[in-house]
Amino acid sequence: MKTLAFLMLMAFGSSQAIAAVELKLGHFAADGTPNAIAALQFKTNVEKRTNGEVKINVFGNNALGSPPEVLEQVMLGAVDMSLSGQDQLAKNFPFYDTISTPFAFKDYAMADKIIDGDFKAWAEPELAKKGLVHLSDWEWGFRQLTNSKKSVVVPADMKGMKIRTPPAFAYQAFVEAAGGNAVTIAFPELVMAMKQGVVDGQENPVGTIYALKLYETQKYMTILNYTYSSMVHVVNKRSWDKLTPAQQQIVREESASAAKFARKTVRDEEATQLKDLETTKGIVVSRPDLGPWKAAMGPAWEKVKAKVGPDNFNRFMGMVDKNSK
């Protein structure tokens, strides 16, 4: 009997040792886009390097619900990890809205330096307070304006236009400061809203505009780079604690590798996509002087400052000033 009991215990122990930890990852990137490909790269590499002891089940293209819903599920523990927009995190962590301050970043290099440096050091302990582990920041890109009415060169051209934005405070503040009317429409409903003419225009990175074929309804594009947005890779702390330290290190490394891939791919593709939009898809692209746009952003900056609090706003703008030199 003792021998049988010992063998059963050994068998149970062995089954426990080889049982894989399965983690569910939800995101909103469309299939075939850089972030979706990066998510599959992350899955493949984690599973390979852990010898199958950690499995990543990827659900992209809003398969688990809208972006805010997926983040909420991660915070509750129903979903293990997500790639969530900064604007979605701002619902629970208001200081995240500082990143979207219009025209805070001059280019990708500056955005990378701040988000991977001082902002990351600020964000990680705050996320931890609500049970989230920050892994890395992937790419979404600088946001541009499109519309179906006319070329928009100065803010006055936007006056009265209905512009779709996600439920993101800072994006809405930009539209309103420029003279447009911000209309909140959830991301999964964006394409249909454009087709039905519910709004006149929208704002998104070039890659998103291209992937969603918004050029089918939006004839005019204005290159503004008015704000930068990323996808933040976060994991529920309870799910994180299911991993061994060695597995956690692998997940961190592969998340960072996927983020690097996503950033490079999005940026490499932008010029090609933009050229195709102009030469093949018939989009009229304007590249205006940004001076008048920046000059119109006073009300937007004040709204962001009031929303996030003066201390948070000033802390972020200190990062901007430091990295502008």
pLDDT tens digit string along 34-47?
Answer: 999 999 999 999 99
pLDDT score of 14 more than 70: no
Q: How many residues does the chain have?
A: 325
Residue with tokens 């704002």: 203
Percent of the chain past pLDDT 70, that is, above it, reads 94
Model-level pTM? 0.90
Model confidence band, residue 325 (pLDDT cutoffs 50, 70, 90) = confident
Residue 315: burial class (beta carbons within 10 Å; 0-12, 13-18, 19+): middle
CA distance 257 to 42: 8
Average confidence (pLDDT) over 60-81: 96
Average confidence (pLDDT) over 205-211: 95
Instruction: Name the token pair of 145.
Output: 């304006």
Model confidence band, residue 59 (pLDDT cutoffs 50, 70, 90) = very high
Helix axes 245-279, 34-49, angle to 10 degrees: 160
Task: Give the domain ranges of the chain.
Answer: 13-139+231-270, 142-227+271-316
Torsion of CA 155, 313, 235, 35, to 10 degrees: 30
CA distance 54 to 4: 31
CA distance 24 to 30: 17
- Average pLDDT over the chain reads 94
Average confidence (pLDDT) over 45-67: 97
Instruction: Name the token pair of 224.
Output: 């503004």
Residue 311: burial class (beta carbons within 10 Å; 0-12, 13-18, 19+): exposed
Q: Which residue has the higher pLDDT, 127 or 1?
A: 127
pLDDT score of 5 more than 90: no
CA distance 81 to 237: 10
> What pLDDT is recorded for position 13?
47
CA distance 147 to 306: 29
Instruction: Name the token pair of 225.
Output: 């780079």
Q: What is the DSSP string of 174-187?
A: HHHHTT-EEEE--G
CA distance 263 to 293: 26
pLDDT score of 68 more than 50: yes
Of 203, 196, 241, 239, the closest CA to residue 220 belongs to: 203
pLDDT score of 138 more than 60: yes
How does pLDDT run across 212-271, given as a tens digit for each residue? 999 999 999 999 999 999 999 999 999 999 999 999 999 999 999 999 999 999 999 999
Topology annotation, domain 13-139+231-270: D-Maltodextrin-Binding Protein; domain 2 (3.40.190)
Model confidence band, residue 10 (pLDDT cutoffs 50, 70, 90) = very low
Topology annotation, domain 142-227+271-316: D-Maltodextrin-Binding Protein; domain 2 (3.40.190)
How does pLDDT run across 167-192, given as a tens digit for each residue? 889 999 999 999 999 999 998 899 99
How does pLDDT run across 305-315, given as a tens digit for each residue? 999 999 999 99
Percent of the chain past pLDDT 90, that is, above it, reads 92
Domains 13-139+231-270 and 142-227+271-316 share a fold: yes
Instruction: Name the token pair of 8.
Output: 């059963």
The one-letter code for the residue type at 105 is F
pLDDT score of 159 more than 60: yes
Of 33, 23, 78, 87, the closest CA to residue 60 belongs to: 33
Residue with tokens 């195709």: 276
Model confidence band, residue 18 (pLDDT cutoffs 50, 70, 90) = low
> What pLDDT is recorded for position 19?
86
pLDDT score of 12 more than 90: no
Average confidence (pLDDT) over 130-143: 97
Alpha helices in the chain (DSSP H): 2-18, 34-49, 67-76, 86-89, 108-115, 118-129, 169-177, 190-196, 206-211, 237-240, 245-279, 291-295, 298-308, 310-322
